Structure 1
């Protein structure tokens, strides 16, 4: 692993440790760098702010789960991986999903999965996505993230398999054929 990533992981680990004592909105960059035993300069060379750190850590999740859809796993397998990772990192995601500001994980997750699914669909269609289909995709992505946040905030009582299956059942019909068979 490059030292650049080691540094980012060190800050992420420090944030997780601080989250055990403080909610995310009360955590400062000073708290994170103190826990990481690093400097503010090093933090700001890697991240714009604490929410940028949260979003970077989410990208780690994305690489381990849904960005493998269509490459090495199905939609359901990717969703199960995503929810399993969220469950393993329960503290981090419970705190991260509490905030709904412009730089929030909710918005970042939405933009990531929207672009990811849009790219898959356009590749399958071999043309840009039309307005009606894009509307359905945006609606589905917003709803799936909202339900993910609700699942996290309500204690993750439903299994990863159950929430994944429900999100697949919620796919609008025109998106089903484009996303269920991702390798087709």
Structure 2
């Protein structure tokens, strides 16, 4: 493993450990580097700020976690996403509490959008609005997962994913059928 990756992993582990104890907004770069025995220069060589570090953690762990499911049906992918967040709920609950510029919440949608876009392209490739739909579903999934985690993720991830699937397919199908009947 290249030294750069080892350094990033050490900074990542330090950030995760700190986020188990403290709110993200209270953690300083000095806390992160002290936790792993590095200096600030090492941190800034790899990351521009703590938000960049959290985003790197998400990207590397999330993509690794779901990459085998990218070619599966959307329902299975949604379940993988929910399981990932459930297994890492303390870290991501903390990260999702931060809003505004450079927030993890925005980055989550940035990563999720192209994944959903490619899934929808297979389903509704002839519809010129598929980019709008991908944005809609990425936002809906982000908001739903955020609420679920911040409320303590009391529902198991598979049940939560099933409800997301029902909301995004069955409910919409029923609304379309009902509107057709009304016409």
Aligning the two structures, in what range does the TM-score lie when normalised by the shorter sequence? Answer: 0.7 to 0.9
Is residue 146 of structure 2 the alignment partner of residue 149 of structure 1?
A: yes
Which string of whole-angstrom CA distances, capped at 9 and with x for unpartnered residues, describes residues 132-160 of structure 1?
Answer: 23222211110110000001101111111
Structure 2 counterpart of 1:47: 47
Determine the C-alpha separation between the residues in 1 that align with 2:31 and 2:78: 33
* CA distance in structure 2 between the aligned counterparts of 1:172 and 1:133, rounded to whole angstroms: 15
The offset of 1:26, in angstroms, is 0.7
Structure 2, unmatched stretches of 5+, are: 174-183
1: CA distance between counterparts of 2:11 and 2:109?
A: 24
Distance change >3 Å, CA 82–CA 24, structure 1 → 2: same
Aligned counterpart for 1:136 among listed residues 133, 137, 143? 133
Deviations 1:11-50 (A, max 9, x none): 1110122223321001011110000111111111111100
Shift, 1:107, TM fit:
0.5
1:180 corresponds in structure 2 to none
Q: Is the 8 Å Cα contact of residues 62 and 84 (structure 2) preserved in structure 1?
A: no
Query: Which one has the largest radius of gyration?
Result: 2
Q: Does 1:32 align with 2:29?
A: no
Matches within 5 A, 1:68-83: 68-71=68-71, 73-83=72-82
Contact 1:66 1:79 in 2 (8 A): no
When the two structures are superposed, what TM-score results if normalisation uses the length of structure 1?
A: 0.81
CA-based RMSD:
2.5
1:29 and 1:49 in contact (8 A); partners too: yes
Aligned residues: 172
Which protein has the bigger helix share?
A: 2
Question: Any unmatched runs of 5+ in structure 1?
Answer: 177-184
Closer/same/farther in 2, CA of residues 172 and 77 from structure 1, 3 Å limit: closer
Deviates more, 1:113-122 or 1:3-12: 113-122
| CA gap 1:172/1:141 in 2 versus in 1, 3 angstroms | farther
Partner of 1:23: 23
Q: TM-score, normalised by structure 2?
A: 0.82
